[in-house]
Amino acid sequence: MAATLDMNLARRIDKWGGLVLCELLFRWSRLRASLGGAPQPPRRATTPPKDGARAPAPRRILAMKFYGLGNIAMLIPVLGALRREYPDAEIDFLTMAANGQLLERSDTVSRVLPVDVEGFVPLLRSLFRVFRNTRSRPYDLVIDFEQFVKLSTILSFLSGAPRRIGFNTDGQRRGPLYTDRVVYTDSEHASRIFSRLLRPLGIDTTPAARKVATTSLEDEAVDELLEGFADDPADAPIVTVHVGSGPNFYQVPLKRWPIENFAALCDQIVAKHGARVVLTGKGDEEAALVREVASLMREPALDACDRLGVMELVALLKRSRLTVVNDTSVMHLSAMVGTPVAAFFGPTSPLNYGPGNDHDLVLYRDLYCSPCVTNYNLKVSRCSDPVCVRGIPVDRVMREVSERYLSDPSKAFAPGTSRARTADE
């Protein structure tokens, strides 16, 4: 179900309205502290770990990250580390409803609190339900994984939790409402950046990978889907190709490799390796992209757009020899299950959002203007011609994926046999 909330308008409201609310709540918290209420660190205070006895283990924890199924995939190992440290704690996770199934299947959280983004009225209703829940069953600890969104900061404060951990991202002016302010840095991968929020708790910040199991029904749904390749050999490699790039907030789709390039690459993969190409997507926009790719191809491909749920998609990725994808959630899902990824980057940095495994291929033109979409600028770019990603040549991509993943199947899943290289190497 596609989100109908105007995300650009929501960002503007969060940026300016959230700024005012954060300031008012901070001043109130400081006044309340001066009158003997709950302590609130000064605006510029740092909060390094304190020596001495550790704080009591929290009984109820609220974690938050609204947008991005890919972010949830990267967060699951971090939540696993939190669960190992506090096995008896009740861990709730506040997120968009579409992310709930993956979290529930990960066995890291006790309950998912869904946020409805089908419009501003449903959003406000779901947030009110969350607020009522937090006040009736108070949390001991809130961990806010958002990097710049102020709504989560406000919800964290209004929860009444005595301890609140979140990112103090430069330029966003959201840090003062937290009791433990963690410096946000773009100098490492997002999964490790997220794990920094566990440092104030004294938790090992090297999260271990966690498996997310699929059910027999989900595997059978993929069997049924692949019946569309009835004339192809059963052992022909499956290559999942995702041509979309998630909701587009800009004048042009900044993170999208050109559709004609995808079509040319898919044709070459089928012709040279006899691969079964599955085109995935979700929603009207991506359905149109998939149809366009199929119309430009000479070789056959299977249109799987809107035919798979999240966990069925995970089941397909598990079976795939390779996933070719833009910087989007499908990349992170594929990396999560260990299937090699060839991913296109440009406006965002693979250092922060790359697939992360040693056997993955990062295709990135590191131009002087890239990355232009970061958490420091609220992921807002005014670029109108993303030559960084559009300029990655088809022949280079084909040569790389053929050599590394398709010519010799025995090497396709061997971690560490190849390193991630950029498209300019």
Q: Tell me the three-class secondary structure of 276-344, residue by residue.
A: EEEEECCHHHHHHHHHHHHHHCCCCCEECCCCCCHHHHHHHHHHCCEEEEECCHHHHHHHHHCCCEEEE
- Summarize pLDDT for 136-191 with one digit per residue, the tens: 888 999 999 999 999 999 999 999 999 999 999 988 889 999 999 999 988 899 99
With a cut of 80, say whether residue 218 has pLDDT above it. Answer: yes
Rounded Cα distance, 270 and 246, in Å: 26
List Cβ neighbours of 421 (8 Å cut-off, separation of 6 or more): 361, 362, 400
Task: Choose among 94, 186, 100: nearest CA to 139.
Answer: 94
Using one digit for the tens of pLDDT, what is the confidence trace for 51-74?
655 678 999 999 999 988 999 999
| Contact status, residue 205 vs residue 199, Cβ threshold 8 Å | yes
How confident is residue 291, by pLDDT bands cut at 50, 70 and 90? Answer: very high
Report all structural domains of the chain as residue ranges with CATH numbers, in order of start: 7-201 (3.40.50.2000), 216-411 (3.40.50.2000)
Summarize the confidence of residues 229-250 as an average pLDDT.
83
Per residue in 307-343, pLDDT (tens digit) is 999 999 999 999 999 999 999 999 999 999 999 999 9
Do the beta carbons of residue 134 and residue 159 sit within 8 Å?
Answer: yes
Residue 415 pLDDT greater than 60, yes or no: no
Contact 422, 366 (CB under 8 A): yes
Q: What percent of the chain has pLDDT over 70?
A: 92
Report d(CA 38, CA 198) in Å as an integer: 22
Spatial distance between the Cα atoms of 261 and 265, rounded to a whole number of angstroms: 6
Tell whether the model's pLDDT for residue 363 goes beyond 80: yes
- Angle made by CA atoms 327, 71, 197, in degrees to the nearest 5: 135
Mean pLDDT, the chain, integer? 89
Whether this model's pTM surpasses 0.75: yes
The pLDDT assigned to 410 comes to 65
Extended beta strands in 47-127, E state: 60-64, 90-96, 111-115
Q: How far is CA 45 from CA 162, 179, 247, in A?
A: 17, 10, 37
Backbone angles phi, psi at 201, to 5 degrees: -90, 0
d(CA 45, CA 50): 14
Instruction: Indicate the Cα dihedral angle 397, 403, 404, 408, nearest 10°.
Output: 140
- pLDDT of 125 > 50? The answer is yes
Which structure tokens are listed for 285?
Answer: 């926009």
The region that residue 327 occupies, defined by phi over 0 for left and psi between -120 and 50 for alpha, beta otherwise, is beta
